Amino acid sequence: MFIVTNYSLAILFCLITMLCWGSWGNTQKLAGKIWRYELFYWDYVIGILLLSLILGFTLGSTGDQGRGFIDDIAQVSSKNFGNALTGGIIFNASNILLSASISLAGMSVAFPVGVGLALVLGVFINYFGAPKGDPVILFLGVALIVVAIVLNGIASGKTSLGKEESRTKKKGVVIAVCAGLLMSFFYRFVASTMDLNNLENPTEGMLTPYGAFFIFSLGILGSNFLFNTVVMKRPFVGEPVYYSQYFRGSFNSHWVGILGGIIWGVGTAFSYIAAGKAGPAISYALGQGAPMIAALWGVFIWKEFKGSPKTVNYMLAFMFAMFITGLSLIVASGGN
């Protein structure tokens, strides 16, 4: 299987993760012009599973190092299978909430609040689970990202909105906080199943990144029959949606969702692959720099802060500066 062998390449993979995790929301915004996010989300989940299989039978099955994809799945212990599956279930619950928040509050609010909170909590969880990197520099970088999250929340509150729109946005922020709390836990479950210190010859019963990603994807798909069905029947806003509407969707409607899942899946797989060299905390933290990317899309492409006062623009500029500085410190924390 393909293995990352140097820190620079691991950081590149983590930056690609950040771009992918911060950009998949664009596909939901596009799909939102056609149908509801609950329907989009089914195709998104299918895209993740398809990508896990494609990577498993390509990168996960080439080269002389490590363990082949099929052999990896066949030998996994029940405990590690369960942990990877649990990671998928937790992620799916959190991501459905994040998708709901995007539909209510927009990308430039949902991502910095939800994913930013997940970053802060997740770095602590992943670092103390598998310490790697300079903790002082790492946590200083995290602290600056916390400042960026707070600034985003303040800027959002200063945006001029109608009464109903303001209420909807506040609901989206609350849902984003719930999503972030849940999302902070999924990565550690999956990371614990992989022998990150010995990917060239992984311990029996443990997984490679490719096997872990596939089982993780099964957890997402399986739990979606419960979580997304509930949200379809009892949506946060609007009327219930039905499976018959999903099957009447056009090819383009379905393809946008599948593309969104593939984009997110590439980022997640690269994060797992890079974790062996960068460490779970740094790999996770850099990937969770996605709020900065999503905020850029939301501010400059989707114009989610259009018409805001100048003070909001200054806050957004400072937010981006804090995010970039914080991410730079996170990178530096592992380069020793």
pTM here is 0.86
Per the DSSP assignment, residues forming a β-bridge with 194 are 207
d(CA 95, CA 299): 21
Q: Residue-wise pLDDT tens for the chain (336 aa)? A: 999 988 889 989 988 998 999 899 999 989 988 899 999 999 999 999 999 999 999 999 998 888 999 999 999 999 999 999 999 999 999 999 999 998 888 887 888 888 878 878 877 787 787 777 788 998 898 888 888 877 877 777 676 556 667 778 888 889 999 999 999 889 889 989 998 888 889 999 999 999 999 999 999 999 999 999 999 999 988 899 999 999 999 999 999 999 999 999 999 999 989 988 887 777 777 776 787 788 788 888 888 777 778 888 888 889 889 988 987 887 788 755
- CB burial of residue 90 (10 Å; 0-12, 13-18, 19+): buried
Rounded to 5°, the CA angle 326-284-17 comes to 90
Q: How far is CA 11 from CA 36, 129, 237, in A?
A: 36, 20, 39
d(CA 18, CA 4): 17
pLDDT at 306: 77
Name the one residue in this structure whose structure tokens are 């691991």.
Answer: 10
Residue 160 — φ and ψ, nearest 5°? -75, 115
DSSP 3-state assignment of 235?
coil
d(CA 184, CA 178): 10
pLDDT at 157: 67
- Angle of helix 135-157 versus helix 280-287 axis, rounded to 10: 20
pLDDT at 65: 85
